[in-house]
Chains A and B, each alone.
Chain A
Amino acid sequence: GDSVTQMEGPVTLSEEAFLTINCTYTATGYPSLFWYVQYPGEGLQLLLKATKADDKGSNKGFEATYRKETTSFHLEKGSVQVSDSAVYFCALVFSGGYNKLIFGAGTRLAVHP
């Protein structure tokens, strides 16, 4: 079945470091891919998305490119801030039927000054 695999956390970085959070997926057909972010004590917010191969989603300095050949959607940011500390979830839309997102396990990011 469809699934999403994320790198395990926590990821701990110093402010202004480069961030990569790996995400790979298994799916029938060509799903849309998403990154969600969850700040402490809050629900999930959509961070960025890509709907087809080679699309690049971007928002708030974060980027991710939909790579069909490697079935990946890695999240990157060139210079992280303390305020980026959160849990990041990679997700894909169920390939058939109704609109049902499948999530990875989440990766916690901690950024220190």
Chain B
Amino acid sequence: DVKVTQSSRYLVKRTGEKVFLECVQDMDHENMFWYRQDPGLGLRLIYFSYDVKMKEKGDIPEGYSVSREKKERFSLILESASTNQTSMYLCASSFGQGFGYGYTFGSGTRLTVV
């Protein structure tokens, strides 16, 4: 069964900490994405990557960075965690370019910053 695996389901961090959220996919997908999900706001794209070492800003990149050193792994980094980054974080991957291809999502990481 194909999978996108996020390393943690729940995470509690302190304000100012550097936080790493890890995502691994086993489908050899080119594209990977990080979203955050907040009540009433739906899903908002933070960053995405369409190739190893490539990254593009999404709609809300401020306060975040990403790393993609290998095709299967896409990491989201909170440089200095703040309470307004408390959220559900979802990783996804997809195949190729163009239309018609859906995403495969991980189960999410619920991050609480205290």
Contacts and interface: CB of A to CB of B under 8 A. Distances in A.
Interface of A: 31-32, 34, 36, 42-46, 49, 51, 89, 93, 98-101, 103-106
Interface in B89-113: 90, 92, 94, 96-108
B40 A99 contact: no
A103 B43 contact: yes
Contacts of B104: 46
Contact of B43 (A45, A46, A89, A93): A89
B50 A34 contact: no
A24 to B, nearest CB: 15
A98 B102 CA distance: 13
A99 B42 contact: no
Interface residues of B, number: 27
Given A32-B100, A49-B100, A51-B100, A100 B48 contact: yes
Given A51-B99, A103-B42, 19 more contacts: A34-B102, A44-B92, A44-B103, A45-B105, A51-B100, A89-B43, A93-B99, A93-B100, A98-B50, A98-B56, A98-B97, A99-B31, A99-B50, A99-B96, A100-B48, A103-B43, A104-B42, A106-B42, A106-B43
Contacts of B102: 34, 36, 46, 49, 101
Contacts of A36: 102, 105
Contacts of A32: 99-100
A43 B99 contact: no
Nearest to B95: A99
Interface in B24-80: 31, 33, 40-43, 45, 48, 50, 56
A100 B58 CA distance: 10
A6 to B, nearest CB: 8
- With most chain A CB atoms within 10 A of its CB, the pick from B40, B45, B96, B99 is B99
B42 A89 contact: yes
Report, nearest first, the 5 A-B pairs whose CB atoms are least far apart: A105-B42, A43-B105, A44-B105, A46-B102, A32-B99
